[in-house]
Amino acid sequence: MSVLLIAEHNNKEIRPFTLNAITAASQMDEDVHVLLIGNNCGEVAKSLSEMPAVKKVLHTEAPHYENYLAENFAPLVVKVSENYSHIVCSANTFGKNLMPRIAAHLDISQVSDITKVISADTFLRPIYAGNAFATVKSTDAKKCITIRPTSFEPCETSGGSAPIEKIESVEEFKLSKFVKREEVKSDRPELGTARIVVSGGRGMQNGENFKLITDIADKLNAAIGASRAAVDAGYISNEHQVGQTGKVVVPDLYIAVGISGAIQHLAGMKESKIIVAINKDGEAPIFSVADYGLEADLFEALPQFLEELNKLNSIQK
């Protein structure tokens, strides 16, 4: 049997987490077929076919697939799913929204957000905000799986030549309508895949003070993160939130500034390779996960930090 992987894309490019999902899928079975649902997305089909881990691309187009409404995608996946043992996508807002709808249509109990493929039916997944890890075995004949993208390496993107098979679309679901997406355009690396993340918390006190974070992020070519408290307080927009209900990040370097370190925040960043905490409260729980802790007033420490960075001869990109 083969794995059916649902690609996330914007009709021009593959979204990066699809590459991590392909790696995870190929650990369940080497015969990975990617389902591409979109509108005028021929270029995306071509780039998928060049990925060595992809054995076949199933490509379907229709105007109502322009934006990924789960109500439109799920019936098509169900229709295509018959000959597959696994249906896989990434556990970001795309996959979280879509996969349960597919699973329910197929009467399958989904396994969410896995961090490891132990065998074709057994997986490791975090529960309780990553305070415990469960090894679970799916007993359904067919599996619906979402994968935690940061737990799998992205797949190779060139050297393959998989066939592209056109498949027919299914009827539009007319009771839901996409209106618009407000994407925040930024030249910075994406939060989910950045090598360095600099995050601010409630200690930043207001949105303007995030400039102190931005300056350092610019210098380090880092993405900007935030605690839920900072987002709730309106200092910064929601797509920056790191944590149990936000994004999970695993950068080489995570710098937490003015973040106390609630369980829910640690859930989103504690797998980072190196963690730095800057906080004036020496008792803050963030220090318990930090490799390097600096007990200091962030309003003094951040300008100094920038100054020290400016003194360096070179900074890794």
Q: Which of 63, 139, 158, 208 binds another protein (CB under 8 A)?
A: 139
Residues 98-117 that bind another protein (CB under 8 A): 98-105, 107-113
User: If binding is defined by CB under 8 A, does position 167 make contact with another protein?
Assistant: no
Question: Least distance in Å: CB of 24 to another protein?
Answer: 17
Question: Which residue is associated with the tokens 């799913």?
Answer: 81
Nearer to another protein, 175 or 187 (CB): 175
Question: Least distance in Å: CB of 107 to another protein?
Answer: 7
d(CA 197, CA 225): 6
Contact yes or no for 285/266 (Cβ under 8 A): yes
Residue 155's nearest CA partner among 24, 8, 47, 10 is 24
User: If binding is defined by CB under 8 A, does position 281 make contact with another protein?
Assistant: no
d(CA 154, CA 19): 5
Q: Provide the CB-side half-sphere exposure for 245 (13 A, CA).
A: 7
Nearer to another protein, 167 or 306 (CB): 306
Q: Which of 50, 140, 215, 218 binds another protein (CB under 8 A)?
A: 140
Contact yes or no for 210/235 (Cβ under 8 A): yes
Question: Least distance in Å: CB of 34 to another protein?
Answer: 20
d(CA 230, CA 213): 13
d(CA 92, CA 241): 13
Q: Which of 6, 194, 242, 253 binds another protein (CB under 8 A)?
A: 253
Nearer to another protein, 51 or 222 (CB): 222
User: If binding is defined by CB under 8 A, does position 135 make contact with another protein?
Assistant: yes
User: If binding is defined by CB under 8 A, does position 305 make contact with another protein?
Assistant: yes
User: If binding is defined by CB under 8 A, does position 279 make contact with another protein?
Assistant: no
Distance spanning both ends of the chain, measured CA to CA: 42
Q: Which of 71, 156, 215, 218 binds another protein (CB under 8 A)?
A: 71
Question: Least distance in Å: CB of 45 to another protein?
Answer: 22
Question: Least distance in Å: CB of 242 to another protein?
Answer: 12
Question: Least distance in Å: CB of 23 to another protein?
Answer: 19
d(CA 131, CA 279): 23
d(CA 268, CA 248): 4
Residues 22-41 that bind another protein (CB under 8 A): none
Residues 182-241 that bind another protein (CB under 8 A): 182-184, 192, 196, 220, 228, 231-232, 237-239
Beta bridge partners of 278: 257, 294
- Helix 93-105 vs helix 70-80: crossing angle, to nearest 10: 50
